[in-house]
C-alpha cells in the first residue's frame, strides 16, 4: 500500500504509566488517550464543557484552546484540557493522579485510516485498469471524399473500434440524429460517449470538439438509513503500451462527496417496514420517488461543489441492499420478506437514469452492482470485491454489521455468504438509550475498573443524547472486563457504586447522569439492553461459525477479517472481541474498509473491468440461508454468553477477566 | 425446390399454328396467348369491352363470361372472348384467321411464379433455421423453496438460457416490474419475448401462460413509391436434434399482405425531391410522420385481416433504400444527394418502434436490413441475400430496375455493387404517355409485324390510361423487331400505316386511338420517349458491364441474372433483351424474384440467422461509384443503340431483326 500521502506521525508518551503511541498531526489528545487505553475523566462527551479531562503537557508541541476551568497558573505549568488539545509534534503528557489506572494497550495498529482510501483506489485502478463503464473518446475523423464515402456512422466506427476494442457498437437513435451535424459543425472533430451494456458497447452521446477530459460519473451507496454519493473523475484508460499507470492514478478520483439520510426513513426504519409500505397502494412509487429525490439532491450538491456541467455525467453506479435496489428501480420487493425469500432480481440491466426519475441526461446510464440474494445485496458484493479477498488464495471473512449482519467467507476460489438477522441493537433499536451514529451519540466509552467511572466521547463532541453501536460495545466490554457484568450478561451484585442501581426493569448502569446529558435524564444500560445486545452479537458470531463450518475451517484459519460499513469503522476491535462479537484473533488480522459499498461503486464507475468483476464475484457466491437452519440455531445458543460458551475460543479475554477478578480480590 | 403446393397445370394447344404451352388452373386465356406469343387482337386492354379477342374453344375446359358481341350461335360452336376466358383443364384453342400471324415462342419457362415464393421461404428457413429475431418461449419454472430461493429473474434465466443459448440476456425495466406478478399469477407458467440486439439478447415481454404460438412479426418494404407489408407467423426454431424441418415449414409463413403508395409521394416522386423536402423546416419530421402513418395503416389492415391481437407482434423488419430508411428513422438525408454522397448511416440499431411513431407495443423491436451506400440500400441487400447468389460459388448478377438501377455482381466470395441513374422512364417519367404500373397502365404489348396492329393488356384490364415500364419495353422491342424503329431509336420512314405519323415532336406510333382510351386522346410513343428509354436502358446495361469488367468477367460467365422489384417481375425477358436492357443470355438463366426486398425482410423476421447474414452480405459488398466514372460513360455511350453498338453481344436479336427485314422484302 502506498502510504506516502499519509500525514506526519508523532510519538505521544503518556506519564506516569510511560506508554508511548504514535499519533497523527492534528489528532485530538483525548482520542489518542482513548486509543492508548489511558483513562482520562471526560463526562461531557469531549466537547470542552466539563473541564474534567485535565492533563499536563510536560514537553512537546500541542495546540489547545483556553478554558475557564484552567487558571493562568495551570496553563503556565502546562495544564490543558485533553478534549481541546491537538497534536503538533512529539509530546509527553502527564495524566493527573486520579486517572492513572488503566488496563489495555494499543492494539489497533492494523486498522486502516481514511487516508488510505486514495491508496486503495489507486491500487485497484492499476489492477483493473481505468477504462470507465461509459468511456469518452475524442475522435478526429478523416473528411470523406468520393473514394471514401462510407456512411458517417461507418466512418465513426472505423476510428472508434480500435480505441474501444469493439467493431460494432450500437448507436442510439438520438446520437444518429445528432451525428451528421455534429461531425460537420466541428470539421469532423467530436467526442463520443460509449456505454457498456452487458457484452455490447453503445454510443450514447456526441459532443462537439475535444471534450475527453470532461468525463464524470456518480457513485452512490443506497443504504437503508444513509445515502452517500461521490462525484468521480473518469478517464478512458491507458494504451496497453503505457506503463505509467502509477503516475497517472496518483491524483484522487473523488472530486466531491455528500451524504444524507435516505428520505425513505419516514416510511420505516428497516427494510421490512419499507417493504410493508411498498405493498400499500402507490407505496412502491412513493418510496421510489423519495429515494430518487434524495439521490438527485446529493448529485446536485456534489456537481455544484465541483463546478462541473451536469451534462458531463456519463454514468451512475449504485450499490445497495436488495430491497433498496428493488425500491430504486420501482420493482415489487414483497417476496423478499415472504418465505422462501426470493427477490425479484439481484442483477439489473443498465437503464437510462431518467427512466426511474434520476436527473442525469438521456445519454447517461445507471448501473447497479449485482447482489446475491434477498439479504445479501450489491452493497456486500461491492465491498467484497473492493476488499480484494476474492483475488487471494488465503481465506478471509468479510462482515458488514448493521441491522443485518451480512457475512462472506472465502477466497479467489470460492465464496459463501449469509445474512444473520442481527437485530437493530447496533443501530440503537431495542436499547433503552440506543440511537443511530449521529451527533450526540456516545461512540466511545472507557470505564475505570476501580472506580467504575466512565470516560465517554460523543459524535460531534456535544452533550450526550444516547448510545450508538460502537459505544454500546465499548460499554458492555468494559463493564464485563471490570466484573460489573457476568458471563450471562447480568449485572453483578458485588460491585458497589452509585452508578449501578435497580431500575424499572432490573439492574442498570448509569453512563451519564441527567445533568450532563442533553435529554436531562440519566443515560443508562439495562439488563434488557444487555439481552438484546447479546442476541445481536450471538447472531453475527453464529453466522460466521456456520459459514466456517461449511467451509471446513476455524476462525484461526482466517488470514483477514474485513469489517465494512460506517458502523464497523468505529468499532473498537478489542472491545468487540471482549463481548464475543468478533472472534479472538490477533488485531493485525482485522481490517476496516469504511463504506465499502460506496468504495466498490466508485471503483466500478471508474473501471469497467472492476464492474465486470463484481458480476463474477456475485455469481461465485453461494448463499446459505440461516433462517430455519438448525446448525445456526445451535451456534446462536452457544454464543449467548460473554464472550461465548466456549471459553477456549477466547483465551485472551478469559485471561483478562480472571486477572481483573483476581486484582479486585 | 418443393413444388407440391403449386396449382394444377394444364396444356393449352393453339391452332392453327399448333403451339402447345402449359397453363395453370384459372389462368386467363388472353394472357396465356400473350405468353405463348400467339397474337390475338385486344384493343381494350383485356377488360372485355371491345369484343375483338374472339377465339374458338375447339375442345377442352374453359370457363367464360358471356358477351354481347358473341351471338348464341357463336357461343354454341365454341366462340369465346379470350380476355374473359379462364382455364379449367386442357384445351385446344383456335385463333381466327386475322390473328394467325405470330412470331415468337414461349421462352419464359425459367421465370418464377408467385406460387414459388412459399417454396423459397421454406427452403431458406430450412437453411437458416426459423429461430425468429424476437423469439417467444413458454417456460414452466419450478416453484421456489428455501433450498432454491434464487431471484425470480435468475430462475427465469436458468430455464431460458438453454433455450436461447445465452446465459445472461438483458431484462428491461418494464419486464422486471411485471415479472413477479406474472410468475405468481400463472403458477410459474409464462411466455417471454427475447429480442436480438447485436450480440445481446434482451427479454422484452412477459405474457401469462403458454402464448408461444401467438408469435407474429411484420415485414415491410419501404419503397420510394410503394410500401408493402406482410404479417409473418414466427416460431422459435427447432431443437438441433429435430430433423423434421421440411415438414414443419410446409405451411406458409405469410398470414396477410397489404401495400399502398408511400404517403410521401405528395412531397416528391423520387428520392432527390424527398431529400429536398426534408431540408425544409420541419420537412424531415413531416416525411417521417407520413411514412410511419402509411406503415401503421398497412399494419392495421393485415392485423385485422388475420384477426390477431396486435400486442402479439413481437418485431418489425424493414427494408428500404438508404434515403427511405433515413426518413423512416427521422435522420437527416441531406448528404445522400451532395457529393461525395455519404449517407449518415447504412445500418440501424434495433429500436422500439414507438420511438419513431410506429404502432406496435413498447416490447416490440424494429430492425432494419442494413444497406451499403447512399444508393445501394437495405432493399438491395435484402434481395441479394434472398436470391441465394451469395451462397453459391457461381457468379450471378442481381438487378433491381426502377428509377435507379441497382446492380450487384458476385458470389459467395465477393460482391460488387453499383447504382446507375437509370432515369425515370420505367416509372413513366420522361415518357409522354408514361405512367406507373397502376390500373389502366398498358403493361403488355404485342405488335403484328405485318399490319403493325397492337395487342395490349392493361393492369386491371381497364381502358388504357398510359404505358408503364414493361409495356414500354414490349412496345419498343416489338416495333424494333418489326423494323418500325431503327437501331438509332428513330422511326423508320418506309413502313406505311395510319399508326405511324408525324406528331408535335417528330414521328410517333399510335398505340391506342383516343376512342379506346380513358384519357380520350391518342396514346402514342414519340421519338423523345425513345431517346429517354434508350438512356435508361443504356445506363443499366453500362452499369452491369462496368461491374463485370471490374470482376474480369463477361455476361456469358453469369450463371444467373436475377431480376428483382415489382417492375422487374412484369418484364418480358425476350423483349428486354431485344432492346438491350438485359444481356442476351439463354432465358433459363433469368430468374424473377418479385419484391425481393420484402421477401428478404420476411425471411429475416422469421430467421435471426438470415438477418445476421444480411449484415455479412452488406459488409462484403464493394460499392463502385459510377458518377464521374469514365469507364461507365464509355459503356453508356456504346449502349445508346438498339440493342447495342456491339452486335456480337446480341446475335439472336440481330438475327431476328435481319430475318424480319428479309421477310418484309
pLDDT attached to residue B194: 96
Rounded Cα–Cα distance for residues A424 and A431 (Å): 9
pLDDT attached to residue A294: 94
Instruction: Kindly tell me if the per-residue pLDDT of B348 is higher than 90.
Output: yes
Instruction: Kindly tell me if the per-residue pLDDT of A115 is higher than 60.
Output: no
Residues sharing a CB contact under 8 Å with residue B664, sequence separation 6 or more, in sequence order: B449, B483
Contact assessment for residue B382 and residue B390, using Cβ atoms and an 8 Å cutoff: no
Q: How far is B150 from chain A (nearest CA, A)?
A: 6
pLDDT attached to residue A187: 95
The closest of A581, A573, A560, A580 to A647, measured between CA atoms, is A580
- B150-169 residues touching A, CB cutoff 8 A: 150-155, 168
Task: End-to-end CA distance of chain A: give it in Å, rounded.
Answer: 47
- A620-649 residues touching B, CB cutoff 8 A: 625, 627-628
pLDDT attached to residue B421: 81
Asked if B144 has any chain A CB less than 8 Å from its own CB, the reply is: yes
Question: What is the average pLDDT score of chain A?
Answer: 88
Selected residue of B144, B147, B149, B630 to mutate for chain A interface (largest A Cβ count, 10 A): B149
The closest of A249, A4, A120 to A595, measured between CA atoms, is A120
pLDDT attached to residue A45: 66
Cis check: omega of the bond before A16, within 30 degrees of 0: yes
Would you call B146 and A341 a contact, using CB atoms and an 8 Å cutoff?
Answer: yes
- A176-235 residues touching B, CB cutoff 8 A: 176-177, 179-181, 197-200, 202
Are the folds of A9-106 and A133-208 the same? Answer: yes
Q: Phi first, then psi: give them for residue B206, nearest 5 degrees.
A: -120, 125
pLDDT tens digits for range B395-410: 999 999 877 889 999 9
- A339-398 residues touching B, CB cutoff 8 A: 339-349, 351, 355-356, 373-374
Reply yes or no on domain A133-208 having CATH 3.30.420.80: no
Nearest CA in chain A to B152: A344
Contact assessment for residue A577 and residue A481, using Cβ atoms and an 8 Å cutoff: no
Instruction: Kindly tell me if the per-residue pLDDT of A509 is higher than 60.
Output: yes
Q: ipTM value of the model?
A: 0.81
pLDDT category at B73 given cuts 50, 70, 90 is: confident
Mean pLDDT, residues A151-168 taken together: 92
CATH fold, domain A385-424+534-664, is Nucleotidyltransferase; domain 5 (3.30.420)
Mean pLDDT, residues A426-430 taken together: 83
pLDDT category at B250 given cuts 50, 70, 90 is: very low
Radius of gyration, CA atoms only, chain A:
27
Measured between beta carbons, the chain B residues lying within 8 angstroms of A628 are 146
Would you call A340 and B146 a contact, using CB atoms and an 8 Å cutoff?
Answer: yes
The lowest-confidence range among A329-338, B210-219, B512-521 is: B512-521
pLDDT attached to residue B39: 67
Measured between beta carbons, the chain A residues lying within 8 angstroms of B343 are 151-152
Measured between beta carbons, the chain A residues lying within 8 angstroms of B150 are 342, 373
- Does B424 or A553 have the greater pLDDT score? A553
Using DSSP's 3-state secondary structure scheme, residue A405 falls into strand
pLDDT tens digits for range B226-247: 899 999 999 876 543 344 454 4
pLDDT attached to residue A439: 83
The closest of B382, B398, B410 to B607, measured between CA atoms, is B382
State percent of chain A over pLDDT 70.
91
Would you call B180 and A331 a contact, using CB atoms and an 8 Å cutoff?
Answer: yes
Measured between beta carbons, the chain B residues lying within 8 angstroms of A346 are 151, 153-154
- The neighbouring-strand residues paired with B200 are B197
Residue indicated by cell numbers 439463354: B586
H or E, element range at B386: helix B378-387
- B309-338 residues touching A, CB cutoff 8 A: 329-332, 334-335
Contact assessment for residue B623 and residue B616, using Cβ atoms and an 8 Å cutoff: no
- The neighbouring-strand residues paired with B80 are B55
Measured between beta carbons, the chain A residues lying within 8 angstroms of B168 are 198
Instruction: Kindly tell me if the per-residue pLDDT of B206 is higher than 90.
Output: yes
pLDDT tens digits for range A444-460: 999 988 889 898 988 88
H or E, element range at B474: helix B469-481
The closest of B387, B430, B395, B400 to B414, measured between CA atoms, is B395
The lowest-confidence range among A260-269, A374-383, B627-636 is: A260-269
Q: How far is A175 from chain B (nearest CA, A)?
A: 10
Q: How far is A201 from chain B (nearest CA, A)?
A: 10
The lowest-confidence range among A223-232, A256-265, B73-82 is: B73-82
Nearest CA in chain B to A355: B173
Instruction: Kindly tell me if the per-residue pLDDT of A106 is higher than 50.
Output: no
pLDDT attached to residue B109: 28
Select the CATH number that applies to the domain covering A9-106 from these four: 3.40.50.150, 3.10.20.30, 1.20.1050.140, 3.40.50.300. 3.10.20.30
Would you call B151 and A343 a contact, using CB atoms and an 8 Å cutoff?
Answer: yes
Mean pLDDT, residues A353-357 taken together: 96
Mean pLDDT, residues A2-24 taken together: 76
- Does B493 or A624 have the greater pLDDT score? A624
Would you call B331 and A177 a contact, using CB atoms and an 8 Å cutoff?
Answer: yes
Cis check: omega of the bond before B215, within 30 degrees of 0: no
Asked if B106 has any chain A CB less than 8 Å from its own CB, the reply is: no
Would you call A176 and B329 a contact, using CB atoms and an 8 Å cutoff?
Answer: yes
Mean pLDDT, residues B361-384 taken together: 97
Contact assessment for residue B81 and residue B68, using Cβ atoms and an 8 Å cutoff: no
pLDDT tens digits for range A174-223: 899 999 999 999 999 999 999 998 888 999 999 999 999 999 999 999 99
Reply yes or no on domain B216-368 having CATH 3.30.420.480: yes
H-assigned helices in A373-497: 378-387, 469-481
Would you call A200 and B198 a contact, using CB atoms and an 8 Å cutoff?
Answer: yes
The lowest-confidence range among A290-294, A428-432, A568-572 is: A568-572
Would you call A197 and B200 a contact, using CB atoms and an 8 Å cutoff?
Answer: yes
Indicate the residue of A149, A173, A331 with minimum beta-carbon distance to B329. Answer: A173
CA atoms within 13 A on the CB side of B280: 9
Instruction: Kindly tell me if the per-residue pLDDT of B163 is higher than 80.
Output: yes
Would you call A340 and B149 a contact, using CB atoms and an 8 Å cutoff?
Answer: yes
pLDDT tens digits for range A241-271: 344 444 444 457 899 999 988 888 888 878 9
Selected residue of B153, B333, B372, B621 to mutate for chain A interface (largest A Cβ count, 10 A): B153
pLDDT attached to residue A451: 86
Question: What is the average pLDDT score of chain B?
Answer: 88
pLDDT attached to residue B519: 84
Measured between beta carbons, the chain B residues lying within 8 angstroms of A345 are 151-154, 171, 176, 179
- A56-95 residues touching B, CB cutoff 8 A: none
Measured between beta carbons, the chain B residues lying within 8 angstroms of A197 are 170, 200
Task: End-to-end CA distance of chain B: give it in Å, rounded.
Answer: 48
pLDDT tens digits for range A614-645: 999 999 999 999 988 999 999 999 999 999 99
Mean pLDDT, residues A322-345 taken together: 95
Measured between beta carbons, the chain A residues lying within 8 angstroms of B198 are 168, 170, 200
Q: How far is B565 from chain A (nearest CA, A)?
A: 25
pLDDT attached to residue A108: 28
Nearest CA in chain A to B371: A151
Domain map (residue ranges) of chain A: 9-106, 133-208, 385-424+534-664, 425-531
pLDDT category at B569 given cuts 50, 70, 90 is: low
Rounded Cα–Cα distance for residues B309 and B104 (Å): 52
Using DSSP's 3-state secondary structure scheme, residue A233 falls into strand
Mean pLDDT, residues A24-29 taken together: 88
Q: How far is B143 from chain A (nearest CA, A)?
A: 10
If you count them, how many residues does chain A have? Answer: 665
Under DSSP, the state recorded for B266 is G
Q: Phi first, then psi: give them for residue A104, nearest 5 degrees.
A: -125, 165
The lowest-confidence range among A290-294, A559-563, B65-69, B593-597 is: B65-69
Amino acid at each position: 500500500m502506498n502510504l506516502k500521502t499519509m500525514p506526519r506521525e508523532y510519538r505521544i508518551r503518556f506519564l506516569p504509566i510511560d506508554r508511548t503511541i504514535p499519533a497523527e498531526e492534528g489528532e485530538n489528545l483525548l482520542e489518542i488517550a482513548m486509543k492508548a487505553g489511558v483513562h482520562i475523566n471526560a463526562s461531557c462527551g469531549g466537547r470542552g464543557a466539563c473541564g474534567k479531562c485535565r492533563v499536563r503537557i510536560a514537553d512537546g508541541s500541542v495546540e489547545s484552546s483556553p478554558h475557564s476551568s484552567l487558571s493562568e497558573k495551570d496553563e503556565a505549568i502546562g495544564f490543558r484540557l485533553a478534549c481541546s488539545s491537538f497534536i503538533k509534534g512529539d509530546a509527553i503528557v502527564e495524566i493527573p493522579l486520579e486517572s492513572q489506572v488503566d488496563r489495555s494497550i494499543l492494539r489497533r495498529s492494523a486498522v486502516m485510516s481514511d487516508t488510505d482510501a486514495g491508496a486503495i483506489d489507486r491500487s485497484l485502478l492499476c489492477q483493473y485498469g481505468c477504462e470507465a463503464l461509459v468511456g469518452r473518446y475524442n475522435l478526429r475523423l478523416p473528411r470523406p471524399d468520393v473514394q471514401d464515402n462510407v456512411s458517417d456512422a461507418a466512418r465513426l466506427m472505423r476510428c472508434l473500434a480500435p480505441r474501444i476494442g469493439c467493431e460494432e457498437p450500437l448507436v442510439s437513435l438520438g446520437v444518429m440524429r445528432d451525428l451528421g451535424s455534429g461531425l460537420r459543425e466541428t470539421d469532423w472533430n467530436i467526442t463520443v460517449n460509449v456505454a457498456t451494456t452487458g457484452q455490447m458497447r453503445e454510443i450514447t452521446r456526441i459532443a462537439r470538439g475535444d471534450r475527453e477530459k470532461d468525463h464524470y460519473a456518480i457513485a452512490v451507496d443506497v443504504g437503508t438509513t444513509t445515502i452517500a454519493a461521490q462525484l468521480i473523475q473518469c478517464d478512458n484508460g491507458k494504451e496497453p503500451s503505457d506503463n505509467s499507470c502509477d503516475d497517472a492514478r496518483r491524483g484522487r478520483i473523488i472530486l466531491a462527496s455528500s451524504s444524507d439520510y435516505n428520505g425513505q426513513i419516514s416510511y420505516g426504519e428497516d427494510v421490512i417496514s419499507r417493504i410493508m409500505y411498498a405493498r400499500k397502494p402507490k407505496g412502491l412509487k412513493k418510496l421510489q420517488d423519495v429515494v430518487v429525490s434524495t439521490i438527485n439532491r446529493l448529485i446536485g450538491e456534489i456537481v455544484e461543489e465541483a463546478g462541473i456541467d451536469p451534462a458531463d455525467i456519463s454514468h451512475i453506479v449504485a450499490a445497495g441492499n436488495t430491497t433498496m435496489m428493488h425500491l430504486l428501480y420501482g420493482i415489487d420487493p414483497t417476496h423478499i420478506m415472504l418465505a422462501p425469500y426470493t427477490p425479484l432480481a439481484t442483477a439489473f440491466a443498465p437503464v437510462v437514469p431518467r427512466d426511474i426519475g434520476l436527473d442525469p441526461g438521456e445519454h447517461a446510464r445507471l448501473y447497479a452492482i449485482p447482489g446475491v440474494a434477498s439479504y445479501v445485496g450489491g452493497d456486500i458484493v461491492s465491498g467484497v470485491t473492493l476488499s480484494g479477498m476474492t483475488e487471494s488464495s488465503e481465506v478471509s471473512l468479510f462482515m458488514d454489521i448493521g441491522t443485518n449482519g451480512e457475512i462472506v467467507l472465502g477466497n479467489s476460489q470460492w465464496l459463501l455468504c449469509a445474512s444473520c438477522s442481527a437485530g437493530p441493537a447496533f443501530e440503537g433499536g431495542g436499547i433503552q438509550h440506543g440511537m443511530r451514529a449521529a451527533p450526540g451519540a456516545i461512540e466511545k466509552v472507557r470505564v475505570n475498573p476501580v472506580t467504575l467511572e466512565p470516560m465517554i466521547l460523543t459524535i460531534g463532541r456535544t452533550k450526550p443524547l444516547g448510545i450508538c453501536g460502537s459505544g454500546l460495545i465499548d460499554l458492555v466490554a468494559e463493564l464485563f472486563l471490570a466484573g460489573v457484568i457476568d458471563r450471562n450478561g447480568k449485572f453483578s451484585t458485588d460491585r458497589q457504586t452509585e452508578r449501578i442501581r435497580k431500575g424499572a426493569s432490573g439492574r442498570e448502569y448509569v453512563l451519564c447522569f441527567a445533568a450532563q446529558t442533553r435529554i436531562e435524564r440519566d443515560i443508562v444500560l439495562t439488563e434488557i439492553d444487555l439481552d438484546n445486545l447479546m442476541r445481536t452479537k450471538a447472531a453475527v458470531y453464529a453466522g460466521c461459525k456456520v459459514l466456517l463450518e461449511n467451509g471446513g475451517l476455524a476462525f484461526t484459519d482466517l488470514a483477514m477479517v474485513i469489517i465494512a460499513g460506517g458502523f464497523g469503522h468505529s468499532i473498537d476491535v478489542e472491545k468487540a472481541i471482549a463481548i464475543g462479537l468478533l472472534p479472538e484473533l490477533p488485531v493485525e488480522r482485522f481490517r476496516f474498509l469504511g463504506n465499502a459499498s460506496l468504495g466498490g461503486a466508485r471503483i466500478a464507475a471508474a473501471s469497467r473491468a472492476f464492474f465486470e468483476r463484481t458480476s463474477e464475484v456475485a455469481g461465485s457466491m453461494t448463499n446459505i440461508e440461516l433462517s430455519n437452519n438448525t446448525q445456526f440455531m445451535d451456534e446462536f445458543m452457544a454464543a449467548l454468553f460473554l464472550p461465548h460458551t466456549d471459553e477456549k475460543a477466547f483465551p485472551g479475554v478469559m485471561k483478562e477477566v480472571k486477572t481483573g477478578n483476581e486484582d479486585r480480590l
